[in-house]
């Protein structure tokens, strides 16, 4: 109930407002986001991968349409700012703008939903800790930091080694190796 009624709406609303997504489009973007990130589940089926790829393409087209609108009618939002942004004197490409917005909408939304839900679940399971926060024996900011350390919104993520001569714990790791980074405590 907390996830559906509060965490998703709150997170999606903030990120959508930042980027400039109209309220009428938010549920569709949530669906596209959920479908796209399903490819990161362990061992996705071919059907899940196809659904995720279609959603990512639909998401991309949606954002390209919004970028085209902002070029014609700039607004006070992140998409408009990204259109005007430069890196080393060059403007961002539409694909760079799309990827930035998609990361914010997908990863930012998902992380905020999971972090807030994990935090409530943790404090409900440990009422003594909640009492410490409520009594100010533990600062709310410190409690949030501890929740993020104890049960982060993302337990692991995969990356590729991009350089030669990488050594981890005394073991050489060849360029191109896929590593799973375990960040959950």
Identify the burial level of 144 via C-beta atoms within 10 angstroms of its C-beta, where 0-12 means exposed, 13-18 middle and 19 or more buried. middle
Q: Six-digit token pair at 161?
A: 């080694």
**Confidence (pLDDT) at 185:** 64
* Nearest partner of 78 among 112, 105, 106, judged by Cα: 105
**Confidence (pLDDT) at 171:** 95
**Cβ(125)–Cβ(119) below 8 Å:** no
pTM: 0.73
Q: Determine phi and psi for 161, rounding to 5 degrees.
A: -75, 125
**Confidence (pLDDT) at 104:** 87
Q: Determine phi and psi for 178, rounding to 5 degrees.
A: -90, 125
Please, what are the averages of pLDDT over each run of 10 residues along the chain (185 residues)?
A: 87 90 91 85 86 94 96 95 93 94 85 90 95 96 91 83 94 94 76
């Amino acid at each position: 109930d907390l996830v559906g009624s509060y965490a998703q709406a709150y997170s999606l609303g903030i990120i959508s407002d930042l980027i400039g997504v109209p309220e009428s489009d938010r549920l569709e973007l949530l669906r596209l986001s959920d479908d796209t990130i399903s490819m990161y589940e362990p061992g996705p089926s071919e059907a899940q991968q196809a659904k995720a790829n279609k959603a990512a393409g639909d998401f991309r087209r949606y954002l390209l349409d919004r970028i085209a609108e902002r070029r014609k009618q700039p607004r006070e939002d992140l998409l408009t700012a990204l259109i005007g942004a430069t890196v080393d004197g060059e403007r961002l490409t539409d694909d760079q703008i799309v990827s930035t917005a998609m990361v914010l909408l997908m990863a930012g939304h998902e992380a905020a939903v999971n972090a807030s839900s994990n935090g409530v679940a943790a404090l409900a399971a440990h009422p003594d800790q909640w009492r410490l926060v409520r009594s100010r024996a533990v600062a709310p900011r410190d409690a949030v930091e501890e929740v993020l350390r104890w049960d982060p919104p993302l337990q692991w993520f995969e990356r590729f080694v991009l350089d030669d001569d990488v050594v981890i714990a005394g073991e050489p790791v060849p360029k191109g190796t896929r590593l799973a980074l375990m960040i959950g405590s």
